Amino acid sequence: MKKAGTEARHYVESMRTLEFTLNGQPRSVEIRAGESLLETLRNRCGIYSTKDGCQPQGQCGCCLALIDGLPKVSCVVPAEKVAGKSVLTLEGLSEDERRLIADCFVATAGLQCGFCIPGFALQAKSLLDKNPSPTRDEIAKALAGHLCRCTGYIKIFDAIELLAAAKRGETQPVLNGDGRVGSSLARVTGQSMTLGDRPYVDDLERPGLLHGAVVLSEHPRAKVMSIDTSKAQALPGVVAIATANDVPGDRWVGLLYNDWPVFVAEGEEVRCVGDVLAAVAAVDEYTARAAAALVEVEYDILEPVLDPFAAIKNDAPQVNPRHDNTLSHTVVKRGFAEAALAASAHVVSGTWETQRIEHLYLEPESALAEPLGDSRLKLFTQGQGIFDDRRQVASVLGIEKDQLEVELVPNGGAFGGKEDMSIQAQTTLLAQMTGRPVKITLTREESIRIHPKRHPIQMQYTVGCDDEGKLTAVMADMVGDTGAYASVGSKVLERAAGHSCGPYKVPNVHVEARAVHTNNPPCGAMRGFGANQAHFAIDGALDLLAAEVGLDGWEIRWRNVVSVGDPVATGQILEKSVGIRETLEAVKEPYYEALVQGRAVGIGCGMKNSGIGNGAPEWGRARLVVESPGTSAESPGTISIYNGYTEMGQGLLTILVQCAVEVTGLPPAVFLPKVDSTFDLDCGQTTGSRATLFGGRAVQAAAEKLKADLDQGLSLADLQGRVYEGEILIDDTTAPGQETDKIKTHTSYGFATQVCILDSDGRVERFVAAHDVGRAINPALCEGQIEGSIHMGLGYALTEELPCPDGMPATFKLRDLGVLRAKDMPEVEVILVEDPEPEGPFGAKGVGEIGLVPTAAAVAGAIASFDGVRRYSLPMKDSPAAQAMSVGRIPKRRSST
Ligand code: FES
Ligand code: FES
């Protein structure tokens, strides 16, 4: 039970004994009245394959268990209901069956962050026990209750079909163990993730562990008159309550600006409904939440500023005390756009609007902090930049950075939403205050309220072309709602401006982009980072021009895409690795085939920076440490790979192993990737599709030093204890507005073309995605990134949104939020194009984000071709394509978990 407000009532109810069979063993446990089976399994029985993705909604499938042989989401089953029954989880399967299931998922690259996968795996077992040869439709039906935010389900289907075939004795999973660049090496720790054995933060336990809960603002804007914790303090089991008064250091944190308080103090304004007012540590989570519900906050409610256009008016109240309401204003200007438009043969204009959406990674935020006994502390985080976490938490605690160790627990999805801190500081502060280990895990509702979202951006575009369809000028004005705190909002709008012309050659450009504060939930990084929004507009404009000129969508793009030697919007001249033309060629046949068949078809092109660029110095940092020599082929020794970037399902750790294998020739089993603060490897955030690019190069550099020693005839035994450094600094990019002879906005760009084909009812039937990835270090993982992105992009185009009509999200329910289910996914064909990037490791560049950059435009084009209506706003919920989806219907009245 995690719903704040009801705990106090339940708390006083008595415990009772539950007797049931768990994984074949009789169990007798003491449970609380109203406790869910998921809580019993995790908290009392030590069963961690059942994950909590949305309790008590019952809408993600992560907590699946078999009850008397029937699959049930255990978060909605009262524990008392299983009295006398038999409960089976993945832990209870035979070792042979566990291995087979795990190998099938890993062999097909059927997992990414892995958080959802134990649920899928158990559902697959249940299905195949009843139906050994299910069709794809039957599998989709069985998966209807499951959600995966990473994979796009395609490789999950593959995994289940392989498992079925293996169980029938027709084949066996084959794991790729070679590990060279270009091979689809099995994901690092993939088997244990499939089985739910590799812990996420919330799975960590410690002796004497305290559990925490936070008190969030009830209003988007109000003055906090008082915070009274006395009733909460009096609750038995409460150990400590922290408020702003307890912060020994700097209460304000932030990635770019210290403008976000970890606690809002009495006398201050709350600025959004994710603001934290207090945090409780108690003997168990239930008590912590009950106490949090007893914290009394008196507010003087103020009128919130919810519209960015109202926020930039002179008389608007200032939302964030450390900034004007206009957080940033980016101008990109080249040539003479206005005059060029006046001289153009064709000019189109329109206002395109995109929506706020929720990242909805399946693992809600969680942090665990523990004292180390020598006045130092250790933080287990799932953040996207552990050194930024360390810097900010140490500052809040008023301690030196080296007094805080930080370790990444690879997370259950992030997509940009775990760049800013969520509850790391509050958790560590409570550990400091109590001298005991403390864990805080957010509920789904709390997660949605706290972390930054994708920016809604309104974009007014005017675009011209000549009578052959060649672009002449782009003028655009963009306003993005960045919510209450800066996060990286200024960079998102900067990126939108820099990608305002897409991968098209435009000689005259005038684009202005502003990030504006409101009292809505903050917006920050999310996969695509401003590029998605801009591409929806520019590709929409291109379709309009195509109609004016009398060209089809493919042809107008072919006439305009950039090549080596051409400038992008910012004026950067592309010098290498520009594979956009090859991606267009790759989709030409399916595009024209669909047209000939009379299908509604849409096309979109995309580009996306790899690396933050825009003048920011960036690092790749790695250390290879020879830990132990090998003793046999089965025990070939251990070399740790330390790096500063985060594994969040994208497969970074596997890629880094492959970079080390490629250089050294050692087997992949030798390498053990780690992300912690043992070495000072601060690289900033895992963002901007740069971890493979820079982290891979750093590992490559360190591995080359190790290889040199190996080539001298030295063995791992000789080298034991040696540390090999790899350091890459990229500091040659150009800041916006910087005076320079040569603009280099970014180190590298990925390129893509996607084609969306509808069926005769207007449903999305097929997607073809051709991507220039430079070099596919691991083709299966690379494909998986693109498939998962298309899944996210289809949701963005059709069903996903997070309206906040009065500053509070209108819904917290997973189905309402519109993330597509397995049965909603069309057929997806991924075509990998390799135009090597000389600045990347082995020619690779980032693929994490670009997968959904062209998607919404391709869908909009297909729908316009189907019903003749050009849509300018996302999501396109009124379209037949969206109506056919099973999710994304937000009831008029606000719902709440
Ligand atoms: S946690 Fe049970 S369905 Fe999501
Ligand atoms: S692998 Fe499914 S949510 Fe990440």
Pocket lining: 53 vs ligand 1, CB cutoff 6 Å: yes
d(CA 216, CA 274): 6
- What pLDDT does 631 receive? 79
Separation of 897 CA from ligand 1 center, angstroms? 12
Ligand nearest to the CA of 36: 1
Q: Is the pLDDT of residue 895 over 70?
A: no
Ligand nearest to the CA of 115: 2
* Residue-wise burial string across 812-834, b where 16 or more C-beta atoms lie within 10 A, e elsewhere: bbbbbbbbbbbebbbebebbbbb
Please tell me which residue, 736 or 827, carries the higher pLDDT value. 827
3-state SS, 378-416, equals: EEEECCCCHHHHHHHHHHHHCCCHHHEEEEECCCCCCCC
- What pLDDT does 738 receive? 85
Least confident of 34-43, 219-228, 352-361, 642-651: 642-651
d(CA 132, CA 165): 8
Q: Binning pLDDT at 50, 70 and 90, where does residue 893 land?
A: low
d(CA 54, CA 137): 26
From the CA of 361, give the closest atom in ligand 2.
3
Question: Coil, helix or strand for 269?
Answer: strand
What is the CA angle 189-450-484, rounded to 5? 135
pLDDT single digits (tens) 388-424: 999 999 999 999 999 999 999 999 999 999 999 999 9
Ligand nearest to the CA of 123: 1
In Å, what is the CA distance from 51 to each residue of 115, 117, 381, 441? 7, 10, 17, 12
Pocket lining: 113 vs ligand 2, CB cutoff 6 Å: yes
Residue type, 339: A
Q: Binning pLDDT at 50, 70 and 90, where does residue 822 land?
A: very high
Separation of 146 CA from ligand 1 center, angstroms? 9
- What pLDDT does 196 receive? 98
pLDDT single digits (tens) 608-664: 998 888 888 989 999 999 999 877 777 889 999 999 999 899 999 999 999 999 999
Q: Binning pLDDT at 50, 70 and 90, where does residue 1 land?
A: very low
- What pLDDT does 737 receive? 80
Separation of 648 CA from ligand 2 center, angstroms? 10
Q: Is the pLDDT of residue 6 over 50?
A: no
Please state the rounded mean pLDDT for residues 730-758: 91
Question: In percent, how much of the chain has pLDDT > 70?
Answer: 98
Phi and psi at 296, nearest 5°, equal -105, 125
pLDDT single digits (tens) 601-623: 999 999 999 888 888 898 999 99
Closest residue to atom 4 of ligand 2, CA basis: 113
Separation of 185 CA from ligand 2 center, angstroms? 19
Tokens describing residue 643: 């790096």
In Å, what is the CA distance from 824 to each residue of 22, 270, 340, 604? 34, 39, 44, 21
- What pLDDT does 10 receive? 43
Q: Do 285 and 293 meet the contact criterion of CB atoms below 8 Å apart? A: no
Separation of 699 CA from ligand 2 center, angstroms? 26
Residue type, 854: P
Pocket lining: 422 vs ligand 2, CB cutoff 6 Å: no
Please state the rounded mean pLDDT for residues 227-247: 98
Pocket lining: 60 vs ligand 1, CB cutoff 6 Å: yes
- What pLDDT does 57 receive? 97
Separation of 55 CA from ligand 1 center, angstroms? 5
Q: Do 224 and 266 meet the contact criterion of CB atoms below 8 Å apart? A: yes
Closest residue to atom 2 of ligand 2, CA basis: 148
Ligand nearest to the CA of 413: 2
Tokens describing residue 523: 């917006």
User: Per DSSP, which regions of 290-345 are E strands?
Assistant: 296-301, 326-334
pLDDT single digits (tens) 274-286: 999 999 999 999 9
- What pLDDT does 79 receive? 98
pLDDT single digits (tens) 58-80: 999 999 999 999 999 999 999 99
pLDDT single digits (tens) 415-449: 999 999 999 999 999 999 999 999 999 999 999 99
Pocket lining: 716 vs ligand 2, CB cutoff 6 Å: no
Pocket lining: 485 vs ligand 2, CB cutoff 6 Å: no
Q: Binning pLDDT at 50, 70 and 90, where does residue 13 land?
A: low
3-state SS, 435-498, equals: CCCEEEECCHHHHHHHCCEECCEEEEEEEEECCCCCEEEEEEEEEEEEECCCCCHHHHHHHHHH
Q: Is the pLDDT of residue 5 over 90?
A: no
Separation of 198 CA from ligand 2 center, angstroms? 14
Q: Binning pLDDT at 50, 70 and 90, where does residue 687 land?
A: confident
Question: In percent, how much of the chain has pLDDT > 90?
Answer: 91
Q: Do 874 and 796 meet the contact criterion of CB atoms below 8 Å apart? A: yes
Separation of 479 CA from ligand 2 center, angstroms? 32
Contact residues for 40 (Cβ-Cβ < 8 A; gap 6+): 18, 29, 31, 79
Q: Is the pLDDT of residue 3 over 70?
A: no
pLDDT single digits (tens) 544-579: 999 999 999 999 999 999 999 999 999 999 999 999
Per the prediction, the chain carries an average pLDDT of 95
Question: Coil, helix or strand for 37?
Answer: helix
- What pLDDT does 890 receive? 87
Tokens describing residue 470: 């060649």
d(CA 555, CA 798): 26
Pocket lining: 64 vs ligand 1, CB cutoff 6 Å: no
Mutation to probe ligand 1, out of 40, 43, 49, 62 (largest number of atoms < 8 A from CB): 62
Tokens describing residue 448: 């949605």
Separation of 38 CA from ligand 1 center, angstroms? 9
**Number of helices (H), then strands (E), in the chain:** 26, 30
Q: Is the pLDDT of residue 177 over 80?
A: no
Please state the rounded mean pLDDT for residues 681-685: 89
